[in-house]
Amino acid sequence: MEEKGAENGVAAMAACYQGFDPAAYLQYNYTPPRADFERKDSIVPWKLACLHKAFTEGDVSGELLVDIGSGPTLYQVMSGCEVFNKVLLTDFLEVNRQELRRWLQDEGGCSLDWTPFLQHVCKLEGRRPSAWTEKAAKLRQVIMDIVTIDVHCPQPLALDALPSAGADCLVSCFCLESVSPDLAAFTRALGHIGRLLRPGGHLLLIGALGESYYFGGPGVKIPVVPLNEAQVCASLKESGYTLIRLEVYTLPQDMRVGVDDVSGVFFVKAMKE
pLDDT band at 1 (very low <50, low <70, confident <90, very high): very low
pLDDT digits (tens, 9 = 90+) for 87-107: 999 999 999 999 999 999 998
Which residues does the annotation place in the binding site for S-adenosyl-L-methionine?
A: 25, 30, 69-70, 75, 91, 96, 150-151
Per-residue buried b or exposed e for 129-159, using 16+ beta carbons within 10 Å of the residue's own CB: eebbeebbeebeebbeebbebbbbeeebbee
In the chain, what are the domain boundaries?
1-272
Query: Is the pTM here over 0.75, yes or no?
Result: yes
Q: What is the pLDDT of residues 125-141, one digit of tens each?
A: 999 999 999 999 999 99
Distances (CA, A) of 150 to 180, 195, 212, 223: 11, 13, 21, 18
Residue 111 has pLDDT above 80, yes or no: yes
pLDDT tens sequence across 142-171 = 999 999 999 999 999 998 999 999 999 999
Would you list which residues are annotated within the binding site? 25, 30, 69-70, 75, 91, 96, 150-151
pLDDT range class, residue 2, cuts 50, 70, 90: very low
- CATH of span 1-272: 3.40.50.150
